[in-house]
Structure 1
Amino acid sequence: MSGTQSVDLVGDEAVSNIALAALLAALTAAFAYVSIPLPGLPAPVSFQVFGVYFAGLLLGPRWGGFSIGLYLLAGIAGAPVFSNAGSGLGYVVGPTGGYLVGFLLAAVLIGAIAHRSIEPKPLSEVPLARQVVALLAGLVCIYAVGVPWLVAVAGLPPAEALTVGALIFLPGDAIKIAATLALVKGGVLARQQSTATA
């Protein structure tokens, strides 16, 4: 009897994680529609990184990566879920595709640092300092893939790629991290997590 109950509980938890992963993938797609193209820059100012942060913090490395993987697969399949309603494999292998690949890796990294395990813990049990480190590491990961990708695909000199592909966006990215942490501190994300796993 206890074995059956354990299997049921694991199954229920997996269903909850899948549901939240799908929700966050859709949220990431919605954030991508809030994109502001800036003249002379290869990538727009976009809010989809919020979805990456939320996925890693709420779902941990495995399910957070699964969520952003769903988002990427939807875009590759033709759904207009990337910045400026972009879609298709051509978009992913284009000049800004490195940032999309970085999103997937960042969600896994954020989850791994924040939760220190494959399975997510309640967000209330993750110290704020660790959340800060996790989000900063995720941002570095995104740039670490996106900037060299610009050099390789767009043919930009490394210094220019670093400037237009990272440094210009740093102030805005700092604000996005602060906003994410404010949602965590305010309990908004924790409530979302507990609702999904209830």
Structure 2
Amino acid sequence: MLHVAKSLFQIGPVPFTMQVFAIFLASLILPPKYAFLSLLVYDLLGAVGVPVFAGFSGGLSKFVGPTGGYLIAFPIAAFVTSYINTKKPIKNDIINAAFALIVGLCLIYTLGFLFLAAAAHLTLKKAFLVGVAPFVIPDIIKLAIAYLLASFLKSRKVLNIA
């Protein structure tokens, strides 16, 4: 069933996943260092073959394939998002979190589609059209849900992370 779902939600070389949701939930509830480390561990687990990537896959080949740039961007985006959210350059919490999340998502998209263009021998326009454009609205929805869940968890004092 999951294998069928994976193939139904794939546009070109980039599949629809819940990775962005998990990355940004971690970024909103963890301090920058731990947000970075959590996604680095995720990438390392996948690199050694643990099937944690899309389609229950893993291995170093994922880092040199069309989606490698996205995987490389995950820990960086987690750190930057958490850092901005923690330092609060914008005093309004919701606007600050939205800004942090959008910056992080833009980092993932930028590294991801540039790597996609190189790995799949696509023009930048084509890489953007298959590696970013179809994901913007679903990813913004995922960011909103991650923010709501993180806010709920923090308000209920479910988390005690230093």
Query: Which range, TM-score by smaller chain?
Result: 0.7 to 0.9
Distance in 1 (CA, whole Å) between partners of 2:26 and 2:92 is 15
The Cα shift of 1:49 comes to 1.4
1:69 corresponds in structure 2 to 40
> Quick check: 2:10–2:16 contact (8 Å CA) kept in 1?
no
Relative to structure 1, the CA distance from residue 182 to residue 39 in structure 2 (aligned partners, 3 Å threshold; closer, same or farther) is closer
CA distance in 2, matches of 1:158, 1:50: 25
Secondary structure of residue in 2 paired with 1:85: coil
Partner Cα distance (1:73, 1:39) in 2: 24
Give the deviation of 1:130 after TM superposition. 0.9
Partner of 2:58: 87
Q: State the Cα distance separating 1:39 from its structure 2 match.
A: 5.3
TM-score by length of 1: 0.72
1:130 aligns with 2:101: no
Structure 2: tracts of 5 or more residues without a match: none
Give, in whole Å, the separation in 2 of the partners of 1:192 and 1:157.
46
Residue 174 of structure 1 corresponds to which residue in structure 2? 140
The offset of 1:102, in angstroms, is 1.2
* Structure possessing the higher relative contact order (Cα contacts under 8 Å, 6 or more residues apart): 2
Give the 3 Å change call, closer, same or farther, for CA 53–39 of structure 1 in structure 2.
Answer: closer
CA positional deviation for 1:189? 4.8
Alignment partner, residue 162 of structure 1: 128
Q: 86, 108, 114: which one pairs with 1:115?
A: 86
The corresponding residue for 2:113 is 147
Matches of 2:54 and 2:10, distance apart in 1: 15
Q: What residue in structure 2 maps to residue 188 of structure 1? A: 153
Please say which structure displays the higher CA radius of gyration: 1
More helix by share: 1
Question: How many angstroms does 1:126 deviate by?
Answer: 8.1
Offset of residue 184 of structure 1: 3.1
Aligned amino acid, residue 182 of structure 1: L
Matched-pair identity in %: 33
In structure 1, the gaps of 5 or more residues are: 1-32, 118-124
